[in-house]
């Protein structure tokens, strides 16, 4: 999906490479690329958010590989994928406004996908977040 309304200026999202968990990889991570390539792109207001992580596997989706806090871009650019007490996967990221965006993730083939929203308030859905395992990339 093409980006429509980036969270920050497009120049802050340039670069390449998979997102990596700071607890499992080097302290500073590579910056993401635009949607449709390996990396991450972010958008709101009905556009998709596509984040590529780790290496793909041929079998069923390994949800555990997506868990953790993921860094991209500048020092404050990060999001977290966690498991709720009900066993569901949840995406969370602080929006530049200071509010936290959330999505309950569900498997869609070799991806995790969810509708992005602000949990406090009656705001409409912000868009879709999609996490994808990248083929031929290093593991998480």
Length of the chain, please? Answer: 140
pLDDT digit string (tens) for 14-55?
333 444 444 443 333 333 322 333 333 443 334 445 555 544
Residue 3 CB partners (closer than 8 Å, separation 6+):
10, 34, 35, 41, 42, 43, 47
pLDDT one-digit tens code per residue, 72-122: 888 778 999 999 999 999 999 998 889 999 999 999 988 999 999 999 878
Domain boundaries in the chain?
10-134
The answer to whether the predicted template modeling score (pTM) of the entire model surpasses 0.85 is: no
């Amino acid at each position: 999906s093409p980006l429509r309304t980036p969270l920050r200026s497009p120049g802050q999202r340039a670069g390449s490479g998979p997102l990596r968990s700071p607890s499992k990889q080097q302290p500073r991570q590579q910056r993401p690329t635009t949607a449709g390539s390996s990396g991450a792109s972010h958008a709101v207001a009905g556009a998709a958010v596509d984040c590529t992580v780790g290496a793909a596997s041929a079998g069923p989706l390994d949800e555990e590989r997506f868990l953790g806090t993921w860094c991209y871009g500048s020092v404050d650019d990060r999001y977290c994928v966690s498991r709720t007490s009900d066993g569901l996967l949840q995406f969370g990221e602080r929006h530049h406004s200071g509010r936290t965006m959330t999505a309950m993730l569900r498997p869609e083939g070799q991806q995790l996908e969810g509708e992005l929203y602000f949990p406090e308030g009656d705001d409409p859905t912000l868009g879709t977040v999609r996490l994808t395992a990248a083929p031929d990339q290093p593991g998480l």
